[in-house]
Amino acid sequence: MGSLESDILFISSLVKIYKKSKLEAQKLFYEEKFKINIIQEPLHLNHILLTYAQGLQYVMNYYYTNCPSWQWYYPYNYSPLLSDLSNLGNLPNFSETLTKEFDLGKPLDPYEQLLNLLPLRSMDLLPESLRISLNKSDQSLLQFYPQEFQLDPFGGIFYSEYIAKIPLIDEKIFNVEYQKGLNSKSLTEREIKRNKIGACLIYEWDPTMQDYEVESSLPLYLENIRVQIKITEFQIEQLPFSSAKIFDRPPQGELFLLFI
């Protein structure tokens, strides 16, 4: 049976069981998707729920203030059931979870980011020394780049919506092998420069300024152009936070549509 057919069967079975017994449906869902028995491992379920709540807090911080942590991540492929999330306030340590400070850390280097995201077939985008380090890592790194892995539709229609069940990268193993490739003397000056985190740029049209010429990056296809663009540098960490910008309720007397 294909993954899509299996997914349809699982979801339809879950709905049927839920109509008869909410508890049995919960057990089936967490056994199938999290590989835990919620009756025997209630603390594990609590951890999933609290971690998800922390993820919601992370997202709110990210969009309304600033990035709260460059290292935090949700360590599961699936979210818990909404019916379980409705009882978050009754969980032990819930208040402490929401008020807990995130460890800010620091952003990944550009090459680190690429190594975390790229499949093996795209490793040509990295410097040769990092590709060599990856191939000579005695499978310690290659285990995180499986050639074959399970795809779970989980209600999705298109492949881009499927959940790719690949192993999470072990940070300690990753850092050791990454530093081996990074410390290689074969890195060119340009490659070293590529791996630095630069400033963010804002491009604004300014009709009051003197126009200037911008050299084409594709001279065989596009000509140089003259523009009146003002460029402003800034660091993400320096973005100001204003509570007045938080949209917490619809404007009085205006139509407001909420999609969930």
Q: Tell me how far apart the alpha carbons of residues 122 and 197 are, in angstroms, rounded to a whole number.
A: 21
Computed over every residue of the chain, the mean pLDDT equals 86
Q: Are 26 and 81 in contact (CB under 8 A)?
A: yes
Residue 212 has φ and ψ, to the nearest 5°, of -145, 165
Question: Could you read off the pLDDT of 12-58 as tens digits, one per residue?
Answer: 999 999 999 999 999 999 999 999 999 999 999 999 999 999 999 89
pLDDT for res 52: 94
Number of residues that this document lists for the chain: 260
User: Contact at 8 Å (CB) between 97 and 54?
Assistant: yes
Residue owning tokens 């539709």: 153
Both tokens of residue 197? 């985190």
What is residue 260's predicted lDDT score, i.e. its pLDDT?
38
pTM of the complete model: 0.77
CB contact set of 115 (below 8 Å; sequence gap of 6+): 126, 130, 134, 174, 178
Q: What is the pLDDT of residues 105-140, one digit of tens each?
A: 888 999 999 999 998 889 889 998 888 777 776 667
